[in-house]
Amino acid sequence: MPSEKRARQRAARRARLEAMARRQRRRRQVRSSIIVLVIAAVVVGSVYLLTRPKSKPAIPDTAQGRLERIWVRNGCPQQVTATVNHQHYSSVPPTTISTTATYEATVRTDIGSFVITMHPDQAPIAVNSFVFLAKRGFYNCNIFHRVIKGFVDQTGDPTGTGRGGPGYEFTEAGPAKASPQYPLGAVALANSDSPATTEPKTNGSQWFVVAGPQGESLPPDYVLFGQVTSGMKVVEAINANGAPASSQAGRPAVVHRILSIKIKEVASS
C-alpha cells in the first residue's frame, strides 16, 4: 500500500508540473502575440502617417475664399494659377454651325449667368470656333484673368496667364467703323499681338465683354462676334472687382471663374 500511495503522489506531482508548464507556455504565447500585434500596429500607424494625404488648408472666409468654395463645389481648382485643361488643336475646327442661324451661349459664372447672342453671318469663323470650344468644355473653369474697371472682362485662357490658347489661330475682320464699334456688352475676340492697329489680328480662344466707356471706344481691330443680351449685371459685378483703369495687366482684385457654357441654337432661317 505505501508504494501505491507514493506512486499516486508522484503522478499527482507530475500532473501539477505539467499543468504549470502548460500555463507558462500559454502565457508566453499570449505575450508573444501581444508583442506581434503591438509591433504591427506601430508599423501600420507609421506607414499611415508617412503616406496619408496632407490635409488641405482651410479656405478663408473672405470674398475670394467664398468664391473658391464655389469653384471647388463645381469641380474647378481652388488655385487661381492652375491650368484647367490641356486641350490642343492643330488647326481651325471645320464649320459645324449654320451661318444663317442665331446662337445663344449661357455663360455660368461663380456669381451668376449671362447670355451671349451670336450671329454667325457677321463673324462665322469666330462664332464657329467659340461654339466648337464651348461644346468641348474648353472654357469650363477659365478665370477672368484680365478685368479692368470701365473697360473689359477678359477670359478664355485655360492657363489663366493671358498667354494660352487652343493651339490654332485665325484671322477675321473687325467691325465696320462706326461709333461705338463695341457697345456696352459687346463680345469680341482678344488679339494675340500688340500694339493694336486697324489691321485684323490673329485670334484664338480668348475673348472679352465690353464693360464700360473705355471698351466702347476701342478701335475696330477686334473680331466682334456677340452681344450680351441678358445678365449684364453679372458682367458689371465681375468688372467691379477688376483692376484700376490705369492697369495694363488688369489682374483683378477678386478673381472670378466661368463654371460652364451651354450653347443653344435659337433660330434658323
Q: How many CB atoms sit inside 10 A of residue 204's CB?
A: 22
The predicted model scores a pTM of 0.78
pLDDT tens digits for range 116-160: 999 999 999 999 999 999 999 999 999 999 999 999 999 999 999
Tell the CATH superfamily of the 84-268 domain: Cyclophilin-like (2.40.100.10)
DSSP per residue over 94-116, as a string?
A: PP-S-TTEEEEEEEEEBTEEEEE
Mean pLDDT of 10-20: 75
Give the pLDDT confidence score for residue 52 in this predicted structure. 62
For the chain, the domains span 84-268
